């Protein structure tokens, strides 16, 4: 998504010319490097010959067995090089690539990169300007350092599950890998900041991002009462502990509407939208404090009102009063939402094996030159290109490497 109106001659994408060596897989690391690619960096993904990123083979459902749908999500605009880091020739090639990179991102278990000869301590002497970012579940040190850190585990340890679900019921996971995505975003921000410092100081920096830290940082205001008063808030389902009405309400056509009446100014407007002006004069509902005190009664009234009409009837009424609301969409509906279509967040690309595919692109619109989005790569698709263009190998050297790295 871009605004071409302010492009000037010779303009480049923000990270054009930045070379990123991507030693990550699954979600958190690839999310970080996808954001860098979206900004114009050349991202070269190092993958195991024959298998590649684990997401290339995860959950291939009926009718899509030959496709890599989960892999496509976070690997747009990257190049794939098949390298076996356990082989001396592979490690040597990776070192040569690292010498010429501006950034390296890895999400091995702590200590693994160093055992493969690709740790910060191994590469910084070869390339002092290298920005080196490590992502892991719990960080590079501490008592949990060696624990596997998958997203559901981080939702548990960070407290997110304790506030997700219904009161009195078991804790629940959020239905998306939030810890991975947040760690990826924070990592991309740290990398870009370290690149700025490297341009000023002439030296790279080591970045250590843990998914646990990312989740705690992302909880932010939700933890205010815990940080300052030691109070853990518990589970509220779809309700809001500080506002009423604030819930999801079932309409007569079986759709749910999420609605929040955020302050006293919106209360009479909401009553008009419901055709219940009689409630405006109800003293017990006149203030937020009163509505909180009578939460159960008021929520029951609102639920009954919304159950009497279909969602399409409520939409114009709520819009007219500018009440914050939305239909509860499933993923297909969310991708086809009129506002999402208008913004162009869903992009169509042509994959060399799968043909037309859709991906969710960068969530910003920026003036000036933008990076051209390209299809997620086939495994090893760019091995020859990168060995030739980055390292300068001739065809004989490349061929010997390919023979050595042929899948077994």
Contact 56, 407 (CB under 8 A): no
Q: Which of 193, 192, 185 is nearest to 209 (CA)?
A: 185
Q: Which of 180, 213, 275, 330 is an active site residue? A: 180
**Whole-angstrom distance, CA of residue 142 vs CA of residue 146:** 9
Q: Which residues contact 248 (CB under 8 A, 6 or more apart)?
A: 238, 256, 257, 258, 259, 328
Chain region(s) in the chain for CATH 3.30.1540.10: 246-333
Cis geometry, peptide bond prior to residue 256 (ω within 30 degrees of 0) = no
Q: Is 67 exposed, middle or buried (0-12, 13-18, 19+ CB in 10 A)?
A: middle
**CATH number for region 2-220+344-404:** 3.40.50.10540
Q: What is the DSSP string of 151-206?
A: HHHHHHHTTGGGGSS-TTS-----SS-HHHHHHHHHHHHHHHHHHHHHHHHS---E
- Quote the pLDDT of residue 11: 84
Whole-angstrom CA distances from 317 to 242, 281, 326, 340 are 24, 20, 12, 22
pLDDT score at 3: 47
Which residues does the chain have with pLDDT short of 70?
A: 1-10, 60
Nearest to 137 by CA among 128, 129, 146: 146
pTM to 2 decimal places: 0.93
Place of tokens 């410092």: 197
Give the pLDDT of residue 23.
98
Q: Is 196 exposed, middle or buried (CB count within 10 Å of its CB: 0-12, 13-18, 19+)?
A: exposed
Which one, of 149, 124, 122, 125, lies nearest residue 135 by Cα?
A: 149
Cβ neighbour number for residue 113 with a 10 Å cutoff: 23
Contact between 16 and 371 (Cβ < 8 Å)? yes
Enter the DSSP assignment of 392.
-
Contact 44, 22 (CB under 8 A): yes
* Model pLDDT, residue 9: 52
In angstroms, rounded to a whole number, what is the distance separating the alpha carbons of residues 170 and 234? 11
What pLDDT score was predicted for residue 7?
A: 47
User: What local confidence, expressed as pLDDT, does residue 6 receive?
Assistant: 45
Dihedral of CA 89/95/99/100: which sign?
A: positive
CATH superfamily of 246-333: formyl-coa transferase, domain 3 (3.30.1540.10)
Is 180 among the catalytic positions?
yes
Question: Where in the chain is CATH 3.40.50.10540?
Answer: 2-220+344-404
**For tokens 């939030």, what's the residue?**
178
User: What pLDDT, in 10s, does the model give residues 98-130?
Assistant: 999 999 999 999 999 999 999 999 999 999 999
Query: Rg (Cα) of the chain, in Å, rounded?
Result: 25
Structure tokens at 228: 């300052």
Listing DSSP states for 320-372 in one string gives HTT--EEE---HHHHHT-HHHHHHT-EEEEEETTTEEEEEE--S--EES--PP
């Amino acid at each position: 998504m871009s605004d071409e109106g302010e492009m000037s001659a010779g303009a480049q994408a923000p990270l054009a010319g930045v070379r990123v060596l991507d030693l990550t897989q699954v979600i958190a690391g690839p999310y970080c490097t996808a954001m860098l690619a979206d900004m114009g960096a050349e991202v070269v993904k190092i993958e195991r010959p024959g298998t590649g990123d684990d997401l290339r083979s995860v959950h291939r459902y009926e009718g899509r067995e030959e496709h890599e749908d989960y892999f496509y999500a976070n690997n747009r605009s990257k190049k794939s090089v098949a390298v076996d880091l356990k082989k001396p020739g592979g490690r040597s090639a990776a070192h040569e690539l690292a010498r010429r990179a501006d950034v390296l991102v890895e999400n091995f278990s702590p200590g693994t990169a160093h055992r493969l000869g690709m740790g910060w301590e191994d590469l910084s002497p070869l390339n002092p300007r290298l920005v080196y970012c490590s992502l892991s579940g719990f960080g590079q040190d501490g008592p949990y350092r060696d624990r596997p850190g998958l997203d559901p585990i981080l939702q548990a340890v960070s407290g997110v599950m304790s506030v997700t679900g219904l009161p009195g019921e078991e804790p629940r996971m959020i239905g998306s890998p939030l810890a991975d995505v947040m760690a990826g975003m924070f990592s991309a921000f740290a990398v870009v900041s370290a690149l700025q410092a490297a341009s000023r100081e002439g030296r790279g920096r080591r970045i250590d991002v843990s998914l646990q830290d990312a989740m705690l940082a992302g909880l932010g205001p939700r933890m205010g009462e815990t940080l300052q008063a030691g109070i853990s808030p518990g589970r509220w389902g779809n309700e809001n502990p500080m506002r009423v009405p604030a819930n999801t309400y079932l309409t007569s056509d079986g759709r749910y509407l999420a609605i929040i009446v955020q302050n006293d100014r919106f209360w009479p407007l909401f009553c008009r939208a419901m055709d219940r002006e009689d409630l405006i004069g109800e003293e017990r509902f006149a203030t937020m404090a009163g509505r909180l005190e009578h939460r159960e009664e008021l929520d029951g009234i609102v639920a009954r009102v919304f159950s009497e009409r279909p969602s399409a009837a409520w939409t114009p009424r709520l819009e007219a009063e500018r009440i914050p609301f939305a239909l509860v969409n499933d993923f297909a509906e969310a991708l086809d939402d009129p506002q999402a279509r208008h913004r162009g967040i869903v992009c169509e690309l042509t994959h060399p094996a799968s043909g037309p595919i859709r991906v969710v692109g960068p969530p910003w619109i920026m003036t000036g030159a933008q990076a051209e989005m390209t299809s997620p790569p086939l495994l090893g698709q760019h091995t020859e290109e990168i060995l030739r263009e980055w390292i300068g190998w001739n065809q004989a050297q490349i061929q010997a490497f390919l023979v050595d790295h042929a899948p077994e």
